[in-house]
């Protein structure tokens, strides 16, 4: 190496903050900016210091220098975290795969004639630890994939059950449409109002009837929407031409015979007599009329 280029021992003292010569400090700073080769050499020595710190082979003075000066930059702190992670992975691999670990240990400590410089030993150590880490990560990813597949399978089963339930409700629509009344009761405090056919008016046919009990708090409304159906709808409750309640962007549940719109309305907003739910989507409007009575 050029005589004007600091040696490894000098660089090590520089990294540990043990150098007192301002001239040498400025020289090393200058070389790190101007020489890529020198900067790479500094990085290797930096990695060697981190390895020795993790292994606990530093002298007490060097250990104190590492903790008080060397580890101040966040980049070196990240390198230390990575080195500790690799060390733990290597230790775990030794427990789980003792034969492979012994083989890796032999390769890690080859004779000096093969590995003529300590930095090459460190590079092999990092490479071996990286392989072990990849092996453990592969096992974890395989386990995670199995868990995800099981979760997807359960979700698909739930969706299939929901689809069957929705299809059953849709297939009930033609018989309900033929009926003159669509009154359905549920245990208080909730009552179910099912509206099947839009456009009914007094005189055309008998309107569906909603009966609200004294203990009723909510009305659960289900409206059958003709094909193609689906998407979001705006809903407005009107009584005698006056809006009593509204809710926008209600998502309809798609079904083979159109869609089903489901939502809850407070019981107190319903007035006696004829009322209508006005359903609108992209400028298209449908009206579902019914009558309300109270017990």
Tell me which residue range forms the domain holding 225.
Answer: 174-294
Confidence of residue 169 (pLDDT cuts 50, 70, 90): low
Looking at the structure, do residues 134 and 179 belong to the same domain, yes or no? no
Domain count, the chain: 2
**Domain's final residue, options 89, 119, 138:** 138
Confidence of residue 85 (pLDDT cuts 50, 70, 90): confident
Q: What is the pLDDT of residue 240?
A: 85
Looking at the structure, do residues 126 and 179 belong to the same domain, yes or no? no
Quick check: is 265 in a domain? yes
Rounded (5°) CA angle 142-144-150:
105
Residue 261: CATH number of its domain: 2.60.40
DSSP string covering 246-266: EEEEEEPEEETTEEEEEEEEE
Quick check: is 154 in a domain? no
Q: What is the pLDDT of residue 241?
A: 84
Quick check: is 143 in a domain? no
Q: What is the pLDDT of residue 57?
A: 94
Looking at the structure, do residues 79 and 123 belong to the same domain, yes or no? yes
Looking at the structure, do residues 180 and 227 belong to the same domain, yes or no? yes
Please give the model's pTM, rounded to 2 decimal places.
Answer: 0.37
Looking at the structure, do residues 54 and 130 belong to the same domain, yes or no? yes
Looking at the structure, do residues 32 and 104 belong to the same domain, yes or no? yes
Nearest to 118 by CA among 171, 47, 66, 192: 47
Nearest to 223 by CA among 190, 189, 199: 199
Quick check: is 19 in a domain? yes
- The pLDDT tens digits for 11-62 are 999 999 999 889 999 999 999 999 999 999 999 999 999 999 999 999 999 9
Q: Give helix 36-55 / helix 118-171 axis angle, nearest 10°.
A: 80
**Domain's final residue, options 91, 118, 138:** 138
Quick check: is 191 in a domain? yes
Quick check: is 161 in a domain? no
Contact in structure between 207 and 180 (CB atoms under 8 Å): no
Looking at the structure, do residues 200 and 120 belong to the same domain, yes or no? no
- Cα gap 240→249, rounded to integer Å: 24
Quick check: is 153 in a domain? no
User: Please, which residues bridge with residue 238 across strands?
Assistant: 243, 276
- Cα gap 35→227, rounded to integer Å: 73
Listing from the earlier edge strand, what are the strands of the sheet with 258-266?
A: 190-195, 218-225, 258-266, 253-255
Q: Which range among 87-91, 176-180, 201-205 has the greatest average pLDDT?
A: 87-91
Residue found by looking up tokens 């966040």 in the block: 74
How high does pLDDT run on average in the chain? 77
Looking at the structure, do residues 24 and 126 belong to the same domain, yes or no? yes
Tokens of 142: 């395989």
Looking at the structure, do residues 109 and 213 belong to the same domain, yes or no? no
């Amino acid at each position: 190496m050029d005589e004007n280029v600091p040696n490894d021992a000098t660089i090590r003292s520089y990294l540990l903050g043990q150098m007192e010569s301002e001239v040498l400090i400025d020289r090393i700073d200058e070389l790190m900016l101007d020489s890529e080769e020198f900067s790479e050499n500094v990085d290797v020595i930096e990695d060697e210091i981190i390895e020795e710190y993790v292994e606990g082979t530093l002298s007490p003075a060097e250990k104190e220098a590492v903790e008080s000066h060397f580890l101040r930059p966040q980049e070196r702190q990240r390198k230390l975290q990575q080195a500790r992670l690799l060390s733990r992975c290597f230790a775990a691999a030794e427990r789980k795969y003792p034969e492979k670990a012994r083989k890796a240990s032999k390769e890690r400590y080859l004779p000096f004639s093969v590995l003529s410089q300590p930095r090459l030993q460190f590079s092999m150590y990092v490479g071996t630890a990286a392989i072990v880490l990849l092996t453990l990560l592969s096992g974890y990813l395989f386990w995670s994939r199995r868990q995800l597949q099981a979760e997807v399978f359960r979700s698909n089963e739930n969706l299939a059950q929901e689809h069957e339930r929705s299809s059953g409700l849709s297939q009930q629509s033609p018989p309900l449409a033929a009926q003159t009344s669509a009154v359905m009761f549920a245990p208080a405090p909730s009552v179910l109002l099912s509206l099947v056919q839009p456009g009914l008016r007094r005189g055309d046919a008998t309107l569906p009837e909603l009966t609200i009990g004294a203990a009723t708090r909510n009305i659960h409304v289900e409206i059958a929407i003709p094909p193609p159906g689906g998407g979001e709808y705006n809903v407005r409750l009107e009584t005698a031409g006056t809006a009593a309640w509204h809710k926008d962007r209600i998502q309809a549940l798609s079904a083979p015979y159109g869609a089903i719109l489901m939502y809850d309305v407070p019981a107190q907003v319903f007035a006696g007599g004829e009322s209508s739910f006005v359903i609108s989507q992209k400028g298209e409007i449908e009206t579902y009329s019914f009558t309300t009575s109270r017990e």
